[in-house]
Each structure stands twice: as C-alpha cells, then as structure tokens.
Structure 1
Amino acid sequence: MRRILSLLGLFLLTSFSFAQEVKLEVYAPSLVAVGEQFRLTYSINKQPTSLTPPEIKNFEILAGPSSSHSTSVQVINGRVSQSETISYTYILEANKEGKFTIDPAVAVVGNQELKSNTITIEVIKQNNSAQQQQQGQGGEQQEQEQARDDLPNSELFVSVDVNRRSVYLGEPIVATLKIYTVVTLANFEDSKFPPFNGFWSQEIETTPNIEFQRENVNGRLYNVGIIKKYLLFPQKNKNLEIDPFELVVLYQKRSNRSQSIFDDFFGSVETYRKKLVSKPITINVMDLPSNAPETFKGGVGSFKLEPTLDKKTVKTNEAITLKIKISGSGNIKLIDSPKVEFPEGFEVYDPKTTDKITTTANGASGYKLFEYVAIPRSPGNFTIPPIEFTYFDPSKAQYVTLKSEEYNVRVSSDGADSGTVSVYGYGKEDIKFIGKDIRFIKTGKLGIKPYSTFFFGSLMFYLTIIFLLLCFGAATYYMGKHQKELSDIRLIKNKKANKVARKRLLIAESHLKTNSRDLFFEEIHKAMWGYLSDKLSIPVSNLTSDNARIELKAKEIDDIDIEEFMRIISVCEYARFSPATDDSEMNSLFNSAHQLIMKLEQIIKK
C-alpha cells in the first residue's frame, strides 16, 4: 500500500511539473565598458531537447556555453510545487563602443519551439580620468588606508535627481534620492532626508531592498541604487531649494595589510565609514496666470468632470444626492469642492469628500468625489445650473474650464405641509401657524400679589439662607477631612490592606485551579507579607520574621496565630525547593491564609 501511495505522489509531482508554463529567458547587463568581461545567461525552466544559441557578434566569447541544472520541490499546505532551472552561460568581453543587439536563442521542448527575448547591450568607453583614477587606486591604496581611507567623492556619492527644474505652482515634481558607487557597500547607517520646505510631499512606494543598476555618468560606469522617491507639489511661487540629503554608509575595500597567512593568499577586506551629502537643488516655481476664473479650485494637471444626480423627481423633505467626480492626473488631493448653485428652498449640507489616488513615478492619478445632499422643502419645478470646474493645464500653459449640463428637479408635496404657509426660500421648520404665534391680550382678572407676600425678604428666605450656609460649612469640613485622609499614604494603605490581600488571594485561587504551583505559592507569599506591611506601615523590604513577631505581639495577636502566620510564610518560601505538593495541601494552605487574614483584620485596628 505504501508503495502504491509513493508511486501516486510521484505521478502527481511529475504531472504538476509538466503543467508549468515553459519559458526561455536571457539575462545580461544593459551597460558595460570597453574591455569589461560580463555574463550572458540563457535560462529555461524545463530540460530542452535542443538549444540553438544566436550568432554573437561584436563581442568576444571568452568561455561557454557552460550549463548548470537546479531543481527544488516545495510542499505547502499539502500542495506540491516543483521548479526546475537549466542555465547556459557565456563569458563575453566588449571590444568596441556602441549599442549592440543579440538575437533570440531557440530551444525545443518536446514538440514546442521557444524563443528568448532580444537583448540590447550598450558599450561605452570610459574617459581617461576615470581609468587613471581606477589604476591609481592600487598604488595609493596603502597610503589612503593609513590616512583613514579618504575615498574620493567621485567614487561614492548621493544625489537628489528631479525630473524637471522649472514648474508651475502646483505642478508635480518627482524627486529621486540615489546613491552612486564604484566600490562595494556593506551597510547604511544614519540618514537625514530633506524636509522639502515649500512643497507638499508624498512618498512614492519603492522596493524594500535597494536594487542596483548600472548607469553611465560622464563616461564612467556606476552602480546606482534608489533610496527613496517623492512626489512634490510646490506651494509657493518663488525659487524653492531642496535641502541636501545626508547618508552615512559603510563600504569595503581590499587591504594590503595582512594579519594572517590566509590574508597573504586570499587578500583581506577592510570596512570604512563615509558620510555622503548631496548638493542642494533649486526649483524655479512659476506663478499661475492672473486671469484665473472664479471656478478655478486649485487644480493643476489634466482632469475630467463627471457629475451625476440620483433623482430628478422627488417629494418635499426627500433628500437628493449630487455627486461630482473629478478624475485625472495632477494635484488631485489639493483640489477644493466645486461651487454648486442649488435653488432657493433647498436645504444643503456640507459636501462629503472621498478620494482614491495612486502615487507613482509618473505622478498622482485617480479621482476625488464630492457628494452634496440637498433636501427640497417646498414643491415646484427647480433647476440646478450647470456645474463649472476650471483647472490649469501646464502642457498648454492655460486654464481649461469644464461645464456640465443643467439638472431639472420636479418636487411634489409629500402631504405633510397642509395648513402651513409656503414662504419661498424658507424651510418647513421655519414656518409658524398664523394666529398662534402671538397671544391675545388677557381680559380676565389678573392674579396680582402684594409685595409683602413675595418670597424675597420673607422669614422663609432667611431660614433658607442659613440652612444653605450650614450645609456649605459641613461639606467643607468633610471634604477637608477626606482630603487629609487621602494625603496620609500610611492610612490609605492601612484601610486598603484587606482589599489588596483578598485580591491577591483570588489570583492565587486561579493558579490553584490551573495547578500552577510556583505562581500559587508566590501570590500567597505576596498576600501575607503585603497585608502585614500595609497594616503595620512597615516596608516589605524591612520585614523579617523577628520584627514581624514583635509587631504582631504588640497588636495583641495570639501566639497560635503568630506561629500560623510564620508557618504559611515558611511553606511558601521553601515550596520551590521542596518536592511537588499535592492539591489537598495547597487547598489547605489557601484556606489557612484566607482565614488568618480575616481574623487579623478583626483584631488589628488603626
């Protein structure tokens, strides 16, 4: 039976591997220098019947193709997954500068023919200063190491790159914090990011791990990594400066100083620290044209206006919802709500605002939704005028106004406003019944009392004053006494000693039920010593068996009770070193402690 199950599992595993999509891919650096050696690798996730590489021109083949094969099997939640990778690697050398394309390779898997992607490699020629600097590094290495290894800034630096340096007010800028290096980095330490004063900033999501890629900077190859990306919206129409970005890095270099025979053979590597500071960047912020219409709400970018009205036929006191959706790309987050002219007789609430905005390296895009809720209070036919929204388009350097259609709303009576006077422009709650808002002049006999019968100045008035003063004096006395008692910490502890001890005994009882032996004895011990400390106003740290006996004797406690107290303390202290105690003994100890504290509480008085 076991053999059958093994064969079945092998069959399922094989079937799963055949069900995977077969891919043939090529990997190589996109940028290399003249004379540099690099790897060209073809990778396929299934054993091919044959692989035909392309004709490699413009590069010298130093070695290859060398093949390697790897297989991994994973079982997650009962599901089996298998991955297989077969790689064919060439070692190439670039001999001349230019951009060169390597054609696809062709692989045959079963009856299927696969082609890899085409790859383009740019070969540059590094300038003489960069080459001389690299060659000179070996000769000066020992001297630099002795002088704290002052690595030139041209070999390791950071910068803040922006996609544009002249923008309009509110036009987004992408700021990228990069690190450029030709040495091996070991780690990053302290960093100080620019505060972006004068900008409204939003961080663009990047990969958690810094991925380095090669870039050509003034004829020299660097490994470049992106630290962070920000989307900046200038808020002031003047030249704004982006402060420097600071980063402390640890980098490694080979050392000629050997500390063992292995260093003489393999070479040694030392780690150095360097603080990198980028150059400040100045952004020219141009003010928006002065002819902005009243319907301009601060939008800069490219947008669409999409208003919708949920109902066009309603009854009085029935709510309608007007939704205005502004979508597009730009500073959507900073756009204010468009102005809507609702007819007289509509009660309008403040708009509810929601948004869904995605921030990428291309800018901020998404939508912002404004929901207006209005309640017509009187019947009739009403018109909501067209909604206008104006934004500034930086690509056209002009304002663009969008306009919707008008909405006709028919409001009928809900039958609840009969008998009221419909006043145009007022809600139903503002209307009063005519004839009932002003009382008539009373013509009957008035109940006028003489002055002497008033409460003010009477005997009852003065008695009430005296009674209130007595109550105030009594309240003041008791409050003062209570405050004095609260300030006496010893008195408070004395009064609460029994309550605290009972609380600890409850905890001990819970440990008793769960058979947590060590915790049970610890809580009994705390309850007994804590009660005695609070009741006798002696710190726990100063309590010993001797002075506890003396103090209890002074409180006229029987010798039997004193010995029982000491027995409970002794059992708790030695419990962790004694053999396991059965449940009956623990129950007996708990009951004894509980009864003793109740007895002491009745005897010991402040």
Structure 2
Amino acid sequence: MRKLVFLFLLILTAGASIKADDVVFKASAPDAVVMGQQFRLTYTLNAEGKELRLQEIPDFDVLMGPSQSVSYSSNWVNGKSSSETTVTYTYILMPKKEGTFNIAPASIKVKGANYTSNGLVVKVLPPDKSTNSNNGGEGNSGSASASIGKDDYFVRMDVSNRNVYEQEGFLVTFKLYAARPCTFNAPPKFPEFEGFLAQEVELPDQKQWSQEHYNGRNYFTVVLKQTVLYPQRSGNITIESGKFDVAIRIATPQKVRSIFDDFFDSYQDVTKTLVTSPVTINVKPLPFGKPASFSGAVGHFAMTSSISSDNVKTNEAVTVKVKITGTGNIKLIKNPEVVFPNDFDIYDPKVETDFKTTAAGVTGSKTIEYMAIPRYAGDFEIPAISFSYFDVKSDSYKTLTGEPYKLHVEKGKDGEGNAPVMSSFSNKESVKYLGKDIRYLKTKDISFTSTNDIFFGSVMYFMCYLVPAILFIVFFFIYRKQVKENSNIALVRTKKANKMAVRRLKIAGKLMKENKKEEFYDEVLRALWGYLSDKLNIPQANLSKDNVEAELTKYGVDEALINEFMDILNTCEFARYAPSQASDAMDKLYDLTVDAIGKMENTIKK
C-alpha cells in the first residue's frame, strides 16, 4: 500500500519538477506521404500543458484529433529520484493535393507560459501510375525471386554535372530505390573513381528511409554514399559500375492454409544483385591565359593577408599570414609566394587547414604563416601577395592581390648587422704601478737552474709557436672555403636536398607502419617537392610538373628517370583521396621513391 501511495505522489509531482527552461514542445510528421493516404501529425510535450492551438492547415483535411495520451516514468539512481512526463497530441490528416506544403508551428501553455513547436514541411507525392504493382511480390504465385519486378529495387548513380572543367568539383550520389525497405547482405562495392580525387561527404551512421516519386512509382529511398569528385585530367572519364547485394524479405505463398496463417505469415529472404550504370564525364581543359600566380585552384575563393609588425629590430622574427577561404579544390592549392628581401633568413611556412566536405563541395580555409628574420637594419618592402584561381561560374581567371608591406628594421642589441662599438675608456690597471716599476732585490733563498734545463730557446719552445701557426693557416683556408660555400645559398640547398628528403621519408615510413594512408602520401609529396625545390634551386611555389621536367632535362637527367618521378607524383596525388589503398601499394611506392631519389643524386652532382 505504501508503494502505491509513493508512486501516486511521484505522478502528481512529476510536472512540478520541470523547469521553464527544460520544457520541450516538438512536432513530427512524415517527410513525404502519398496522395490519398492518411498520416499522423504528432505534438510531444514533456510537461502537463493546456490550450493547444494549431494554426490553419489549408492543404490538409483534419480527419481526427487531437487525441491525447500521457505517460509517466520515474527513476531512482544513487538515492536520487527523477521523474518524466510525456504528453502526446495526435491528429490524423489527409492531403488535399499534390505538392510540398508547410505546417505552421503550434503553441501551448505550460504553467501560464506560452511555448511554440517547430514547423514542418510535408511533401505529397502522386499515387503510383501502375495500379497492378505487385509491391514486392506479396500474394503472387511461383518462386519468391520471380515475384520481384525488375523495377522494384535498383540503385541510381546520380551525377550533379557531367560537363565540367579540370579540377572542378561535382557531386556523385548513390541512392537505393526499393518497393519495400530491405537490408544489405554484404558491404556495397562502390566504383574506384579512377582519374578523380574523391572527397566523401559524411552521412549519418543510421540510414533514414524516406519516400520519393520516381518514374511514375513511389519508392522507399535511402542515400548510400555521396562523394565530391575532382577530375585530374581533361577528356572523357568514365565512372565504372557499382555492385550492391540486397536481402529482400517477401511473404511466401502457402498452398494449404489454416486458421493460424491469419496470425503468422511465412517469409523468405531473397538476395538480389543491383548494378549501377556507368557514367561518362566530359572534362574540359582549363582555358588559356593562365595568370602567373595561378597554381591550379578551381572554385570560388577569397584571400586576406596581414603582417605581425612593420617595425622590428634585427634578429627579430616577422610573420606574414595569408588566409585563403572558399569552396573548390582548396585541399590541392599550393601556397602563394611571399617574396622577402635577400638579407632575410626565410623559414618553411606553417600551414593550418580547416575543411568540411558537404554536398555543395569542399569548403573551408587554409592559413599559411611565413616567417623571416632580418639580419641588417634598413627599410625594406615585401611585394604584394597574389593568388589566382579559375572561377567556374564566370568561366574566367580571377586574381586576388593583397597590399605590399613596408618594413622598417632597426639595429638590435648585440646582434648581427650592428656597427662595432669602440670603447673610449682607458685601462686604469695599466697605470696602477707607475713610479713603482723598480722592485727590491731578493737576497735569500735563491735557487739556480742549469742552462741545459731551461725551456726558453729549446726546440719544444719553438714548436709550441710553429705548430699552432701551421694549424691556424690550415684551418684558415678550410674555414674560408666553407664560408665561401655557405654564402652560396643555392649550393647549400643542393647539398642538403638529399638529407632533407631522407628525413621526410623516415617520417613517411612511420606513417606507413601506422597505416595512416592520407598522411603517408602527403609526407611523400612533401619529400619529393622539397627535394626538387632544393636540388633545382626553385621555390616550391614556382614548381610545377612542366618546369620540373624542363629543368631536369637541362641537367641531363634520363627521360626514364624523369618519367619515374612524374609517375610517383601522380600516384601520390591520386592515392591520397582514393577510397581504399592496400598497405603493399604504400610499401612499393615508398621503395620506388627512395630508389628514384638515389638515382637522381647520382645523376645531378654539384
């Protein structure tokens, strides 16, 4: 009896425990319904309410409602009790016509305060044109597989644009159409997207079925995969077929029926293989007239730049920050070139990215920080930074240009580039004993040494002077040669090219062992481009496959080795965004890269 009284008190006080900020009033209905079919419009409230008000619903007939149901729940956890009230208001609606219609928000009062629900959009589909559709084969005689029509289940590969420019992104959607919801027997096999860089759109883990009218029939549909593709070459590129094995549950006809068959139906799972049709994409080459600052960016972008300070001292770092935002192949664009004065020590830029892939494409930003250290005082100018891209909307190249920066460098403390400071003070210690240079003579405890034992004038005495002098001359010539070589920045970069490449390839090897595919290919690309930049003494921003081939040819590199380098670069760019890549492919590419750099070192010797 006490338990019943306690439960009754919990039910009475359930609504009182809800705070005003915790009240949730939510509307729900199907996204799509078929003309002539009824559907439920439901409002859910987590408190006791009154005076539910709906706005006019001119596009639907209200057949019934509101019907109200109340449920209570209580929990007792760690000595603390919690209770929850759920009130549901249900309407039965019938659409008046086909189309897409809005249901305005409703309102309700809870403890004197008004609360408003969300609005809804309901799409009313036309009925099936074929009235004798088998609906998945129920009630048909014969085998279960034969009762499934060829148009009952299929997968469409929908391409947003079949006529694009090179590096222009477009969306590919794989959608399953089913007469009734079904399941997969095996993971779907999507095409490999050869010739494209692929960026997959993140979809919810729980696939949601919806209804769609297609070719005169209403289907249950679900999106299986969405991918943004960027073609890497011009011409006709074909997206191959995908393969999907689905399990369809249909009712099995019974020759002999009993009274229990009305309560218990017999079902059978039938496997059906669905194959998408291949699609050919016409990829147009980018038009002529590319600006000097164009490095392959296609889409729509904006650029901003800033400098950390325009007044610094010698040996203090100055940073130029460039931020590129927009939609397009932003992951593939190269860093804009920032030209610092010759007397500055320049460091590798720091790059931060923030990308998001949606059905509209890859959107985000790329922030590049360039750091340099001035070694001499004076007034310098950093030229305006330019970035060009191809705008697919206007079919034209556009160039974004920042402002030039004037930099004033002052002399720092105890730094390079400062004029030597001459001291004008005399040394007081040198006059400390003036007038006392004649000392008294010692007359006791005198000891004498044989002339044969005197070090002064001996061979060792002269050797102590001669050997350091010879070593000084030798080191002087060696050091002068090193200074001369170090002053030649191009020669220094050329000598260190192999060391830098080996260091980056070690990092790539670790990423390969950790099976981090995209990071591995990125690091291999950095090693190759960095090696070529150092070896050929060309800034990375100015590097391209065309001028790399031309420069290597000047140095007498074999055409086979040049092609090997180009193949490795193409493989890395393709493989970074490929849907899957085996570990043995990464091993093979790693060995090819090490071998190619070794051959290049033996060919180009400076």
Structures share fold, TM-score greater than 0.5: yes
Out of 347, 350, 353, the position equivalent to 2:348 is 350
User: What's the secondary structure of 1:134's corresponding residue?
Assistant: coil
C-alpha offsets along residues 319-370 of structure 1, whole Å, 9 cap, x if unaligned? 3222211112221111101112211212222222221112222222221122
CA contact 2:319–2:371 (8 Å) conserved in 1: yes
Equivalent pairs counted in the alignment come to 422
CA contact (8 A) 2:153 2:176 kept: yes
User: What is the match of residue 295 of structure 2?
Assistant: 297
Which string of whole-angstrom CA distances, capped at 9 and with x for unpartnered residues, describes residues 72-95 of structure 1?
345677776544322233444446
Aligned partners of 1:36 and 1:93 also within 8 Å: yes
Q: Deviations over 1:388-407 (max 9, x none)?
A: 11111111211111111111
Q: 1:138 to 1:11 in 2, by over 3 A?
A: closer
Residue-by-residue CA offset, 1:400-421 (whole Å, 9 max, x unaligned):
1111111112223444447999
How many Å separate the matches in 2 of 1:382 and 1:88? 74
**Gap change, CA 1:303 and 1:79, over 3 Å in 2:** farther
Q: Secondary structure at the match of 2:320?
A: strand
Question: Contact (CA 8 Å) 1:189, 1:250: kept in 2 or not?
Answer: no
Q: Aligned residue for 2:245? A: 248
* Pairwise CA distance, 1:230: 1.5
1:240-279 paired onto structure 2 within 5 Å: 240-257=237-254, 262-279=260-277
Q: Partner amino acid for 2:309?
A: K
Shift of 1:181: 0.9
Q: Over residues 3-22 of structure 1, what are the superposed CA-to-partner deviations in whole Å (9 max), with x where a residue is unaligned?
A: 9x999999996553244543
Match of 2:207 among 200, 206, 210: 210
Q: Is the 8 A contact 2:241 2:276 kept in 1?
A: yes
With 345-354 and 95-104 compared, the bigger mean Cα shift is at 95-104
Q: What is the distance in 1 between the residues matched to 2:40 and 2:50? A: 24
Give the counterpart letter for 1:134 in structure 2. Answer: N
Displacement after TM superposition at 1:135 (Å): 7.2
In structure 2, C-alpha distance between the alignment counterparts of 1:21 and 1:309, rounded to whole Å: 48
Give distance in 2, aligned partners of 1:58 and 1:41. 17
Secondary structure of the corresponding residue to residue 322 of structure 1: strand
The C-alpha deviation readout for 1:410-469, integer Å capped at 9, x for no partner, is: 223444447999xxxxxxxxxxx99x9569xxxxxxxxxxxxxxxxxxxxxxxxxxxxxx
- 1:397 maps to which of 384, 395, 398: 395
State the one-letter code of the partner of 1:182: A
Equivalent residue letter for 1:385: P
1:310 aligned partner, one-letter code: S
Structure 1: distance between partners of 2:155 and 2:182 = 13
Identify unmatched segments of 5+ residues in structure 1. Answer: 422-432, 440-606
Cα distance, 1:114 vs structure 2:
4.2
Residue 143 in structure 1 maps to residue 142 in structure 2? yes
What SS does structure 1 have at the residue aligned with 2:331? helix
Gap change, CA 1:331 and 1:77, over 3 Å in 2: farther
- Residue in 2 that maps onto 1:287: 285
Alignment of 1:132 with 2:129, yes or no, is no
Write the distance in 1 (CA, Å) between the matches of 2:124 and 2:147. Answer: 30
**Secondary structure of 2:133's match?**
helix
Q: Give me the TM-score of the superposition, normalised by structure 2.
A: 0.62
Q: Aligned partner of 2:149: which letter? A: P
Q: Tell me the alpha carbon deviations over residues 126-172 of structure 1, each in whole angstroms, 9 at most, x when there is no partner.
A: 3433x222379456x22132xx3462231111122232222222222
Q: Deviations over 1:277-299 (max 9, x none)?
A: 11122222222221111101221
| RMSD of aligned Cα (Å) | 3.7
**SS at 1:192's partner residue?**
coil
Q: Distance in 1 between matches of 2:347 and 2:9?
A: 68
Whole-Å Cα distance in 2 between the matches of residues 179 and 52 of structure 1? 39
Tell me how far apart the structure 2 counterparts of residues 213 and 16 of structure 1 sit (CA, whole Å): 37
User: Percent identity at matched positions?
Assistant: 38
The amino acid across from 1:364 in the alignment is V
The structure whose Rg is larger is 1
Which stretch has the larger CA shift, 106-115 or 375-384? 106-115
Q: Match of 1:70?
A: 71
TM-score, normalised to structure 1's length? Answer: 0.62
CA contact (8 A) 2:303 2:400 kept: yes
**1:419/1:71 CA distance change after superposition, 3 Å:** closer
Does the Cα contact within 8 Å between 1:59 and 1:95 map onto a contact in 2?
yes
Deviates more, 1:64-73 or 1:286-295: 64-73
d(CA) in 2 for partners of 1:101 and 1:354? Answer: 43
Corresponding residue number in structure 2 for 1:458: none
DSSP-derived class of the 1:132 partner: coil
Task: State the distance in 2 between where 1:19 and 1:223 align.
Answer: 40
Q: Distance in 2 between matches of 1:352 and 1:393?
A: 27
- Are the aligned partners of 1:124 and 1:219 in contact in 2 as well (CA < 8 Å)? no
What are structure 2's unaligned runs of at least 5 residues? 421-471, 479-606
